[in-house]
Amino acid sequence: MKTEKKSLNVPVNKQGLKKKRSFSRKAIYTLLILLTIISIVPFYMMIINATRENQAILGGFSFLPGSALIENYRTMMDYVNIWNGFKNSLIVSVSVTVLSGYFSALTAFGFAVYEFKGKNLLFIFMLLMMMVPGQLGLIGFYELNNAIGTLDTYIPLIVPAIASPFVVFFLRQYLSTTLHPSLLEAARMDGAGELKIFHTVALPIMMPAVATMSIFTFIGSWNNYIVPLVVLFSPEKYTLPVLMGFLKGSQVATNLGSMYLGIAISVVPIMIAFLFFSKYIISSISAGSIKG
């Protein structure tokens, strides 16, 4: 962006442009504000309707909040304990993020630092498998968990995170530019074991990259729907997305205010987190796409 701003002193036919520009700039800002409204309004309506009575929502459209928030909350909690789904989602997503971050760093370190037989072959194999969509193995995945008795537990949701090819790929690229062999040699001279070197030298260096990947791992796990839908059966174990589906099929669905409130509770924390992380997330998307 900076180069563009600098270049504005370019001599151009100003008189001809000025009038036209001020008019169309207005049009452009109107358009951008319209798109902003379209992006936000569904969430705004969700929050407004979460505070309105069912009758009022059925009766008509309003931009102003009502006073039935607590009532809606009670109705919803009578059928579905949404905080429980929240807790479950948090347990799963945090575990997934930690496992994926740690073991991907470990694997990336192994690939970046050591020479061993079959290394390139294994790496290429991993990259190829990265292209395979998740649904391909879904039936086999379900049957595997059925066979080893891990259906209706969090194991199929958490443990596979140890193998996250994309994160490994990203971290290995990162390590190859940031980790100097001299650092490792120095640590070895001090008599540190290889695993200790990983923990004290390599892992701290990788932390910024691990953090970037962690945001996406967390969001991906938090939003994952099809896998928990397939492997979980007990409503008290449902993660938030599955619980939302459950909510829709329950009696709460007849009370729109409570439905909106349930949706709002599932959405607002992510929106708040985004307020803090938005710059970070967006620059990561930009960076990722240019490399990709």
- Under rule CB under 8 A, which residues in 41-100 are in contact with another protein? 42-43, 45-46, 49, 57-58, 60-61
CA distance 63 to 66: 10
User: In the complex, what is the shortest distance from the CB of residue 49 to another protein, in angstroms, rounded to a whole number?
Assistant: 7
At residue 68, the 3 state secondary structure works out as coil
User: In the complex, what is the shortest distance from the CB of residue 237 to another protein, in angstroms, rounded to a whole number?
Assistant: 16
Nearest alpha-carbon partner for 250 in 20, 52, 127, 80: 80
User: In the complex, what is the shortest distance from the CB of residue 74 to another protein, in angstroms, rounded to a whole number?
Assistant: 20
At residue 202, the 3 state secondary structure works out as helix
From 65-73, 74-82, 206-214, 255-263, give the range in contact with another protein by CB under 8 A. Answer: 255-263
Binding status of residue 109 toward another protein by CB under 8 A: yes
On the CB side of 189, CA atoms within 13 Å amount to 6
From 66-74, 75-83, 206-214, 257-265, give the range in contact with another protein by CB under 8 A. Answer: 257-265
From 69-77, 90-98, 206-214, 280-288, give the range in contact with another protein by CB under 8 A. Answer: 280-288
Crossing angle for the helix pair 240-249 and 82-113, to the nearest 10 degrees: 150
The interface with another protein within residues 113-152 (CB under 8 A) comprises 113-117, 119, 122, 126, 129, 132-144
Whose structure tokens read 């002193």? 9
Radius of gyration of the chain (CA): 25
Binding status of residue 192 toward another protein by CB under 8 A: no
Binding status of residue 103 toward another protein by CB under 8 A: yes
Binding status of residue 12 toward another protein by CB under 8 A: yes
Binding status of residue 234 toward another protein by CB under 8 A: no
Residue among 69 and 246 whose Cβ is closer to another protein: 246
Residue among 117 and 149 whose Cβ is closer to another protein: 117
Number of residues that bind another protein (CB under 8 A): 103
Q: Which of 67, 176, 254, 278 binds another protein (CB under 8 A)?
A: 278
Binding status of residue 238 toward another protein by CB under 8 A: no
DSSP 203: H
Nearest alpha-carbon partner for 239 in 250, 229, 252: 229
Q: Which of 36, 67, 200, 254 binds another protein (CB under 8 A)?
A: 36
Nearest alpha-carbon partner for 264 in 4, 51, 34, 35: 51
Give the H/E segment covering residue 17.
Answer: helix 14-50
DSSP 117: T
Residue among 116 and 149 whose Cβ is closer to another protein: 116
DSSP 252: G
> One-letter amino acid identity for 180?
H
